[in-house]
Amino acid sequence: MAFVCVFVFVPFCAGADEPDGEKIFQSRCGSCHSLENGRNKVGPHLSEIIGRRAASINGATYSGALKDSGIVWDAGTLDTFLSAPQDMVPGSRMRLKISSPTQRTAIISYLSNQ
Ligand code: HEC
């Protein structure tokens, strides 16, 4: 239901209990990822991640596994990756899992506008 809420009924249910993608990003992802093009931390920057090929940022350090994955990031591939990065890309250097689907949806919708 929260999924439907976020994608279809945003104006009607942007209530206080909806997870806030920006806050989750800052607390869970921001230590390793910036949203500034060209500024890589431990992980690559995530500016304009939607439509990007995996492991395509110059100057970022990637695992061979992610380089060989052939993934193109969209809402679906990001959702699968964030739920279990090392299940989708065995050998990936990213280990953080976001097990809550509503949190993943909030993060992805936030990232879609960066
Ligand atoms: C402890 C550090 C760390 C945290 C926290 C982290 N990541 Fe990562 N992330 C990485 C690393 C390192 C890579 C590169 C993985 C590889 O090369 O296998 C990566 C790769 C990625 C990629 C692929 C980027 C590309 O250019 O292909 C995405 C998307 C991503 N992370 C999203 C997230 C999101 C969203 C969060 C928060 C929910 C997050 N990461 C939290 C370290 C982290």
Beta bridge partners of 53: 72
98: pLDDT confidence band, cut at 50, 70 and 90? very high
* Kind and range of the H or E run holding 21: helix 21-24
Query: 20-111 falls under which CATH superfamily?
Result: Cytochrome c-like domain (1.10.760.10)
Q: Which neighbouring-strand residues pair with 55?
A: none
pLDDT of residue 18: 77
Do residues 74 and 51 lie in contact, with contact meaning Cβ atoms separated by under 8 Å? yes
Which of 90, 43, 53 is closest to 73 using CA atoms? 53
Q: Residue 13 pLDDT more than 90?
A: no
Pocket lined around ligand 1, Cβ cut-off 6 Å: 28-29, 31-33, 42-44, 46, 49, 54-57, 62-63, 65-66, 73, 78, 82, 92-94, 96, 98, 107
Vertex 1: Cα angle to 18 and 21 (nearest 5)? 30
Write out pLDDT tens, residues 19-59.
Answer: 899 999 999 999 999 999 999 999 999 999 999 999 999 99
